[in-house]
A and B are shown apart, each in its own frame.
Chain A
Amino acid sequence: MNALSSRDGLVEVGFDAIATFFYKLAEAADKLKEEGLWTYMPDPSELREKVAQGTVRVKLGFPVYQKGGVIMDVTNVEQAGIAEDAGAVAVMVLDKLPYDIRKAGGVARMADVNVIREVMNSISLPVMAKVRIGHFMEAKVLEALGVDMIDESEVLTPADEKHHINKWLFKVPFVNGARDLGEALRRISEGASMIRTKGEAGTGNVAEAVRHMKTVMAQIRELVSMAEEDRVLKAREMGVSYELVELTARLRRVPVVNFAAGGIATPADAALMMWLGADGVFVGSGIFKSQDPRQRAEAIVLATSLWMDPEAVLEAQSMISERKSMMGIDIRQLKPEELLQVRGV
């Protein structure tokens, strides 16, 4: 019955410990910089202000209220309306759905800001948008526009082959993709407030998302059972501070909200990802590349919230027809250079 709290170490530690952690770490900035580990830092001065906007706490807090929900990729106002009616918790505005990005080739960039603005004006849900990895200015543009969360995404063509954005410098929270715990913790060190699996976007094939989620969970279990001295080694190997590794072991989970993404196409796919430990799901091409987007969107919402109840997942799965699912792409048929998940590690 207590499907969420029984598996979540947050129940023993509490949200406050996570928010406080980053400020404490900032106090130890000099030491960490000496070790060449942590060059990006939050600014703890915001703690002393009577009223403070865009603090670490409100950025980490925002995705908490997305948990158990579905964030849907949309390309226009009409699709955003369908997502809202279906019970999505947020929409992600793109220029093209990942499936079409694959087909189109060329350079994939941030979506048209006019379309993002139209969507923001048309629905009351939070609106997210993607920027290219390392593209500080696209992110600044979206922050100025007022999007609620920025996805620094491998689905777009990376702008910086070496660095990600220093996300502590923004009032708006960021979500980043990860294939394993090292990637996840590095993104968190850079200021990401939320993590998602990368999966393999635009394929309609959930296999890669499963692999990434299982990898992260297995690595956390490994950390928990490890001797302290081995965690020190592990932290060095992953290129993150030992303190962040300790926090992860104590929480027994990714220290920020952790969603599944990349290839989710059916209610059962969504429920599977939740069962594997995801806090919620992103659905990209799966909805609007299907033949039954309205029913499918609503069905995926139901299955994501009630993943622990097979009867509810059955009900959700009955709302859609497999004949109307997106065709999907077998990942083994993709050439190595066609894989999106290898971008930005």
Chain B
Amino acid sequence: MKVGVLALQGGIVEHVYMLKKAAENLGINLEVIEVRKKEHLNQVEGIVLPGGESTAMYRLGKRLGIADPLRERISNGLPVLGTCAGAALVAKEVIDKQSGKKYEPLLGTNDVRVIRNYFGRQRESFEADLEIKGLGTFRGVFIRAPVMEPLSERVEVLSEFNGKAVMVKEDNVILTAFHPELTSDTRIHEMFLRSIA
């Protein structure tokens, strides 16, 4: 199986490690590809959109011409795991909690509204025990994290924190506001890999 990690900016290597671990646990033969160009994208059967600064990723994605082919593949059912800023890339609506400023979505493929920096600044970044549907308790690591609001019935909320969705699923797309790649818990990566196989 070939899985990509969008490798423009952010926590890329952390996801590569987690994918390899998850594949080991599942007994899957996995090759991970860093995706920067259309050629890389054509090879993969699923893609992780990692955390980073969404404005920086947006700028790079536009300039490198990866946005259009990526949008097309996700619309056609490419399995996606988007964490934090990665979730903001696929959201239809993105707004900043503090300034109320709206951002143009990079891909805009999914029926969610992402509210950036919902919990405040880095000082307020935290970790918390979450309950995730189908997985149970999971230590969520939130770094200047967003929350998500479903915009349609198609979006299933898998976990909430203080009444706000922090993990959702829409068909082929799994999104988290937190960073499973900063823990040793591979269950979310396994869930993603199983959705491909």
Instruction: Answer yes or no: do A and B interact.
Output: yes
Q: Could you tell me which A residues sit within 8 Å of B by CB distance? A: 1-5, 8, 10-17, 19-20, 50-55, 57-58, 61-62, 64-69, 84, 86-90, 120-121, 124-126, 143, 146-149, 171-173, 298, 301-302, 305-306, 309, 312
Flag B152-174 by CB within 8 Å of A: 1 or 0 each.
00000000000000000000000
Beyond A65-B10, A68-B8: 8 further Cβ-contacts under 8 Å? A1-B34, A4-B34, A11-B20, A16-B182, A61-B125, A126-B122, A126-B144, A301-B59
A residues less than 8 Å from B13 (CB atoms): 4-5, 8, 10-11
Residues of B within 8 A of A (CB-CB), count: 55
Q: A65-B53, A68-B8 are in contact. Are A51 and B128 (CB under 8 A)?
A: yes
Q: Do residues A124 and B55 form an inter-chain contact, with CB atoms below 8 A?
A: yes
Q: Whole-angstrom distance between the alpha carbons of A120 and B59 in the complex?
A: 21
Cβ contact within 8 Å between B122 and A305: no
Q: Which of B60, B84, B99, B123 contacts A54 (CB 8 A)?
A: B123
Given A16-B183, A55-B126, is A65 in contact with B40 using a C-beta cutoff of 8 Å? no
What is the CB-to-nearest-CB distance from A172 to chain B, in angstroms, rounded to a whole number? Answer: 5
Report the minimal beta-carbon distance from B119 to chain A, rounded to whole angstroms: 9
Say yes or no for B116: interface residue by CB 8 A criterion.
yes
Indicate if the CB atoms of A302 and B9 lie closer than 8 Å.
no
What are 15 pairs between A and B in contact, CB < 8 Å? Answer: A10-B14, A54-B123, A65-B11, A65-B85, A68-B52, A84-B55, A88-B53, A89-B52, A120-B121, A126-B122, A146-B120, A146-B123, A148-B121, A301-B59, A306-B36
Cβ of B74 under 8 Å from chain A:
no
Q: Are A171 and B123 in contact (CB under 8 A)?
A: yes
B12 within 8 A of A: yes
State the CA gap A143–B123 with chains docked (Å): 8
Q: Is the Cβ of A64 less than 8 Å from the Cβ of B14? A: yes
Cβ-defined contact, B141 with A124, below 8 A? no
The reply on B104 being an interface residue by CB < 8 A is: no
Which one of B9, B20, B63, B116 contacts A124 once the chains associate, using CB atoms below 8 Å?
B116
Docked complex Cα distance between A130 and B63 (Å): 32
Verify B144–A68 contact, CB threshold 8 A. no
- What is the CB-to-nearest-CB distance from A47 to chain B, in angstroms, rounded to a whole number? 9
Asked whether B114 is an interface residue with its Cβ less than 8 Å from the other chain, the reply is: no
Would you call B123 and A11 a contact (CB within 8 A)? no
7 A-B pairs with the lowest CB-CB distances in the bound complex, closest first: A87-B59, A148-B122, A16-B184, A68-B9, A58-B125, A51-B128, A89-B53
Within 8 A of A (CB), among B30-56: 32-34, 36, 40, 51-53, 55-56
List chain B residues, Cβ under 8 A from A90: 53
Quote the shortest CB–CB distance from B61 to chain A (angstroms).
10
B196 at interface by CB-CB < 8 Å:
no
Asked whether, in the complex, the Cβ of B143 is within 8 Å of the Cβ of A58, the reply is: yes
Task: Please indicate the chain B residues that have their CB under 8 angstroms from the CB of A16 in the complex.
Answer: 182-184
The total of interchain contacts (Cβ-Cβ below 8 angstroms) comes to 172
Asked whether A62 and B127 contact (CB < 8 A) given A5-B12, A305-B9, the answer is: no
Quick one: closest B residue to A6, CB to CB?
B34
Given A53-B126, A126-B122, A302-B63; A87-B181 close (CB under 8 Å): no
Contacts of B128 in A (CB 8 A): 50-52
CB distance from A88 to the nearest CB of B (A): 7
**If A14-B184, A124-B116, A301-B56 touch, does A62 touch B143 (CB 8 Å cutoff)?**
yes
Q: How far is the CB of B25 from chain A (nearest CB, A)?
A: 13
Contact assessment for B125 and A53 in the assembled complex, using a CB-CB cutoff below 8 Å: yes
B98:A5 contact, CB within 8 angstroms: no
Verify A305–B8 contact, CB threshold 8 A: yes
- The residue among A4, A5, A13, A149 with the most chain B CB atoms within 10 A of its own CB is A5
Q: Can you name the residue of chain A whose Cβ is closest to the Cβ of B50?
A: A65
Docked complex Cα distance between A54 and B59 (Å): 30
Also in contact, A14 and B14, with CB within 8 A (given A64-B182, A305-B8): yes
Closest to A19 in B: B182
Which of the listed residues A20, A57, A148 has the most CB atoms from chain B within 10 Å of its own CB? A57
Q: Closest CB-CB distance, B127 to chain A, in whole Å? A: 6
A58 touches B64 (CB 8 A): no
Given contacts A10-B13, A10-B17, A305-B8, is CB(A146)–CB(B34) below 8 Å?
no
